[in-house]
Each structure stands twice: as C-alpha cells, then as structure tokens.
C-alpha cells in the first residue's frame, strides 16, 4: 500500500473492514479519506497495544488494490472486530503513515478530535481466558441492569464483587493496555467506550464501577488503580501539563517522545502548545528540553524533583527525562502548592494566566522571573540553570542499590531493613555508619513490634506499605553524610557527591562538581 498525502490538517483515513462469516478468510479492507470538520464521519476508533513489530501479517486492501503488513496484535484485533456487516474504523497503525514524521506530527496534534468525533471507542485487551470470561459476564450483567440499577450520580447499584471477580480484575490490570501512555487520551475523550476481551464486551463505565465496588465507592483491589481508571472522570481537573506528566509517569511508550505527546490533547487549552511541542522530526532530548523550559516558568524549581534519578541523555542534567518510569511524589508536587510556594508576587502574577500549562512560548532568558532565585544562560549548545542554595553535607558512605523484581523482593528487603536497627546485621549491604554509633545503639524494638504486628500478609495496609516502599526505594540507595545524617539517593549517586538545599526546590538536591566550575545535577529529589 502506498500512502498518498493527506490534503488538510483535519484529514483522516477511515478503514472499511469488509464483512465475512468465515473466520479463516483473509482480512479485506478499503481505505477512505475524510475530514473531521465535514459532516461527522461515521467510524469507531480502536484503542489497543501494538505489541511486537514482528512477525508481520498480511491484510488485503480492495480500494486501492494493494497489500499491507500489520503487527500480530493489529491483525488479531481486526479478526475479532470483523462481523457479518461492514464496519468503519480508525486504527492508528493503518490510518497514519508511520514512516512520515510530518504526517505523524499533524495527526497526533488532532488525536483527541479523532477519538472524540468517533461514534465510539473500542478498547481491545487481547484474547479471552476462562477467568476473563467470568469477569466480563459480571460486567455485562452490570451493563444490562444499568438503566434500573444506576444512581442519579451514574453509579451502578450492585452487590460488592466476590473474591473471584476481584482476583480477575487484578489479572486484567496486568494486561499491557493498562500500562500504555496513549490509552489515557483514547479512553477519556469519548463518552462511549467499549472494552473487548476476546469476543466478550462491556462498557468502560461498568469496569470502572466494578473496580470501585459499584455504589460502595471503595476500591476492591489491593493494588493501585491503573492511571486510566483514576483519570476516567478526573482528567479535566488534573491541573495542567506538570500534574498530568507526574500522574502518568509509570506508563510506557515505545517512542519516548510520546510520554509528552500523548498527553497534550488532555489539556484545556488552545492548540498552540501542540504545534510547538508535537514534532517527530525532533529528538527526545530536544522535546524534553522544550518541555522543561515551558514548565520552568510555571513550576519554578519544583521542576528539579522530576529529575530524581538523573539521566545520560544529551541534554542538561536539570532537564527531566520523561521516558523514565520512576516514582514521583504526585500529591506533594501538586501544582497549586508549587504556585503557593513561589518566592515573589511578581513571579506569581506572571503565572496567573498560565495555570493550565497552556502557555505557548518557551521560557526565554529575558522572561525568566528575576526574583525567583534562578535563571538560564547559554553554555555551548545547552542552557545552564543558575540557582542559589547552601551545602548541607557530603555523602560519606552509602548502601548498595535496591532493586526489586517482584512484590516479594520488596517485602523481604523492607523487613530486613527494619531488622538492621534491632539486630545490627542484615543481608542487605548498608553503610557501616548506619550499623554503628548512635544509629546502631538506638532501641527500635517496640517500633518494630508495632510495625510487624500491623503487617498482616494479604490485608490492604500490608500491601500498600510494601508497594510504597517498593516505589520509593527501587533503584535507590541509603546514604550517610559526614555529619551523620541519613538519606535516600538514586543509584547513580557516589561517595563525595554534595547534598544541597536549593532555594525554591521541592526537595534537597544532590550535585557533583564537573570541570569548568559547573555542577551536574545527580538528583533533584533526595530525602534526608
């Protein structure tokens, strides 16, 4: 298939999936061009995961006569969607020329309109299992009774899901779709979302309601909700680019630039910001630097907290790498608090009209707030960030880095870490200073007994405690300064690094001196 250029900025390609009652028959489609601004084109938008690029499967196009190769996931979705009548679809892998960066950029800028204008969104979670069939029977019953069993608020009035249903919810959330960055936009901009698992279907509203115990309003699963469910009703109030970047940081994208691009359409702003940022001809480093300059005028030096683990990309160390999926203090870094903590009324006034992160110009050296204690100036091909702060201490010794492959790994490490204060030994390598002197002589026996007695395996408090420990300590170290203070730093910290309190930053920072009299930001969010 040879793609012809789309004529208008709101042009799209609609896929006509030709019907067949023979499931083994080849997939046959036609491709038509339409405009979103015309009389509303009738199509459904597909939300799915691309999966592996290879092997590829062939599908056949009737108009124009040609052959296309698609991923196995796309092929399987088309086969599940095919019915005894033709169906009109928008599927990103086919509807967008993925080899043309300019077209990709234009199409991604209107992605929210593409999904919002569809007659409905279909979420394909993959093949069914015996357990998923049981879960979708429950969800289908909830949908069938919806008219009679919904409160005025829209909540489903049903009994609390049984343990088997709850377990199947846990399994369902482990499917790749729930960890993908693009699904947030795809699932929240259209009121009609159908979730499909194999040939079983339900509404996303039923799934979200079941997850919250229906009208009981309490999460039924022990693990944290997938971000797409948390944002299902809340994305309009999320508070701007900064907050939504933090709220979705655990999600994944095959292209690191999509960690930003996939979220921009959720902002209640004009399209200028999308035209500035969404550009697939630019590298991830260029995009992340543009985002950092945009956010810096909005969040001030709270921006540094998003650079908790540092990076090795070809961009300034103070620029956050949004391709990282590391933990951030989402609630502590709420943008409203950031604004309230600005230093000057002048800086606050300059931000008043930008609180939805819809500003359309990058921060320039001239526009950087003069009273805020920081500024940008060019050094070579990059911009250095000038800040003010005080040296707090130097890392004298530190533990090995924590690394968890599972919940059980984190649980074992957590209990052993508690144990070192009482028994003064552990299989975990920790700084010798932590096992000697004042720390080793402290008697934590009563505290350990209280914590241990509270951690009953299987209950919510136990699961949340271990989950919080895992997200906080994964790929981090415990360190001790020359003055004896204990802290937590990312795994890239070294003995001799400086712990610094930077004026206007959210957390203490770790700096490393480099040639030329400059400092490299090792971490913008360490704990003391």
State the DSSP H helix or E strand holding residue 298, giving kind and residue range, or none if neither.
Answer: helix 284-299
Is there a single domain that holds both residue 145 and residue 220? Answer: yes
Q: For residues 301 and 320, what is the distance between their CA atoms, to the nearest angstrom? A: 12
- Residue 122 β-bridge partners: 46, 194
- Residue 151 β-bridge partners: none
Instruction: Out of 192, 215, 230, pick the residue that ends a domain.
Output: 230
Look at residue 6 and tell me if it is in a domain: no
Is there a single domain that holds both residue 166 and residue 64? Answer: no
Domain enclosing residue 326, as ranges = 235-371
Is there a single domain that holds both residue 241 and residue 301? Answer: yes
Exposure string over 113-148, b if 16+ CB within 10 A, otherwise e: bbbbbbeebbbbbbebeeebeebbebbeebbeebee
Is there a single domain that holds both residue 186 and residue 254? Answer: no
Is there a single domain that holds both residue 269 and residue 353? Answer: yes
Look at residue 16 and tell me if it is in a domain: yes
Instruction: Out of 118, 140, 160, pick the residue that ends a domain.
Output: 118
Angle at 427 between CA 424 and CA 430, to 5 degrees: 65
Is there a single domain that holds both residue 260 and residue 360? Answer: yes
Look at residue 491 and tell me if it is in a domain: yes
pTM score of the predicted model = 0.82
Look at residue 380 and tell me if it is in a domain: no
Look at residue 194 and tell me if it is in a domain: yes
3-state secondary structure of 201: strand
Look at residue 382 and tell me if it is in a domain: no
Structural tokens at position 466 = 């271990």
Quote the distance between the C-alpha of residue 394 and its chain's center.
Answer: 33
Q: Which tens digits make up the pLDDT trace of 367-425?
A: 333 335 688 988 888 899 999 999 999 999 998 899 998 888 888 888 787 776 555 55
Is there a single domain that holds both residue 291 and residue 414? Answer: no
Task: Give the residue ranges of DSSP H helices in 118-240.
Answer: 130-144, 146-149, 163-172, 182-188, 204-211, 227-230
Give the chain's domain count.
5
Q: Which tens digits make up the pLDDT trace of 101-137?
A: 999 999 999 999 999 999 999 999 999 999 999 999 9
The per-residue pLDDT string of the chain (528 residues; one tens digit each, 9 = 90 and over) reads 999 999 999 999 999 999 998 988 999 999 999 999 887 779 999 999 999 988 999 999 998 899 999 999 999 999 999 988 999 999 999 999 999 999 999 999 999 999 999 999 999 999 999 999 999 999 999 998 876 655 555 567 888 999 999 999 999 999 999 999 999 889 888 999 999 999 999 999 999 889 888 877 788 887 777 877 777 655 554 457 888 888 888 899 999 999 999 998 877 655 678 888 999 999 999 999 999 999 998 889 999 999 999 999 999 999 999 999 887 766 566 655 444 444 333 343 333 333 333 332 333 333 333 335 688 988 888 899 999 999 999 999 998 899 998 888 888 888 787 776 555 555 555 666 655 544 444 444 455 556 656 666 666 677 778 888 888 899 999 999 999 888 999 999 999 999 999 999 999 999 999 998 899 999 999 998
Structural tokens at position 294 = 């945009």
Angle at 288 between CA 231 and CA 253, to 5 degrees: 50
Look at residue 288 and tell me if it is in a domain: yes
Is there a single domain that holds both residue 324 and residue 396? Answer: no
Is there a single domain that holds both residue 414 and residue 509? Answer: no
Contact 183, 47 (CB under 8 A): yes
Beta-carbon contacts of 479 under 8 Å, excluding residues fewer than 6 positions away, are: 395, 396, 397, 398, 399, 431, 486, 487, 488, 489, 493
Is there a single domain that holds both residue 364 and residue 274? Answer: yes
Look at residue 17 and tell me if it is in a domain: yes
Is there a single domain that holds both residue 63 and residue 95? Answer: yes
Instruction: Out of 177, 203, 230, pick the residue that ends a domain.
Output: 230
Is there a single domain that holds both residue 202 and residue 102? Answer: no
Query: Which residue carries 């405690």 as its tokens?
Result: 465
């Amino acid at each position: 298939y040879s793609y012809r250029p789309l004529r208008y900025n709101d042009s799209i390609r609609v896929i006509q999936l030709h019907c067949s009652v023979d499931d083994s028959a080849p997939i046959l489609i036609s491709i038509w061009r339409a405009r979103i601004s015309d009389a509303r084109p009738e199509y459904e938008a597909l939300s799915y995961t691309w999966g592996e690029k290879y092997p590829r499967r062939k599908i056949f196009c009737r108009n124009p006569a040609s052959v296309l190769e698609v991923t196995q996931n796309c092929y399987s979705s088309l086969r599940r969607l095919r019915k005894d009548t033709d169906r009109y679809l928008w599927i990103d892998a086919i509807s967008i020329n993925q080899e043309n960066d300019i077209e990709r950029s234009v199409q991604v800028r209107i992605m929210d309109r593409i999904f919002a204008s569809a007659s409905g969104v279909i979420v394909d979670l993959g093949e069914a299992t015996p357990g998923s069939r049981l879960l979708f029977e429950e969800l289908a019953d909830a949908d069938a009774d919806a008219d009679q069993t919904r409160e005025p608020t829209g909540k489903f009035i049903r009994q609390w899901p049984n343990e088997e249903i709850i377990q199947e919810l846990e399994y369902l959330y482990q499917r790749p779709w729930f960890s993908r960055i693009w699904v947030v936009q795809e699932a929240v901009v259209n009121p009609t979302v159908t979730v499909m698992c194999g040939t079983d279907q339900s509404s996303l509203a039923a799934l979200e309601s079941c997850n919250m115990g229906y009208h009981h309003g309490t999460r039924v699963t022990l693990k944290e909700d997938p971000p797409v469910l948390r944002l299902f009703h809340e994305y309009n109030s999320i508070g701007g680019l900064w907050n939504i970047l933090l709220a979705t940081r655990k999600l994944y994208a095959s292209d690191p630039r999509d960690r930003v691009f996939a979220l921009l359409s959720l902002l209640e702003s004009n399209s200028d910001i999308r035209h500035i940022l969404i550009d697939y001809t630019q590298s991830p480093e260029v995009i992340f630097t543009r985002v950092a300059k945009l956010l810096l005028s909005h969040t001030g030096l709270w921006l540094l907290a998003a650079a908790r683990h540092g990076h090795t990309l070809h961009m300034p160390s103070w620029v956050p790498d949004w391709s990282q999926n590391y933990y951030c203090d989402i609630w502590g870094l709420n943008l409203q608090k950031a604004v309230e903590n600005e230093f000057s009324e002048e800086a606050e006034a300059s931000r008043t009209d930008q609180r939805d992160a819809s500003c359309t110009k990058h921060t320039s050296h001239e526009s950087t707030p003069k009273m805020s204690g920081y500024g940008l100036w060019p050094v070579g091909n990059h911009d250095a960030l000038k800040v003010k702060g005080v040296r707090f201490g130097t890392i004298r010794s530190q533990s090995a880095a924590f690394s968890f492959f599972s919940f059980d790994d984190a649980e074992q490490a957590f209990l052993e870490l508690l144990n070192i204060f009482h028994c003064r030994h552990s299989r975990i390598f920790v700084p010798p200073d932590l096992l000697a002197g004042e720390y080793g002589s402290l008697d934590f026996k009563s505290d350990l007994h209280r914590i241990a007695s509270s951690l009953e395996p299987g209950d919510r408090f136990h699961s949340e405690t271990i989950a919080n420990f895992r997200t906080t300590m994964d790929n981090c170290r415990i360190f001790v300064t020359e003055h004896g203070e204990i802290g937590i730093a990312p795994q890239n910290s070294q003995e001799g690094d400086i712990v610094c309190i930077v004026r206007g930053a959210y957390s203490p920072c770790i700096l490393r001196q480099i040639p030329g009299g400059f400092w490299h930001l090792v971490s913008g969010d360490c704990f003391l």
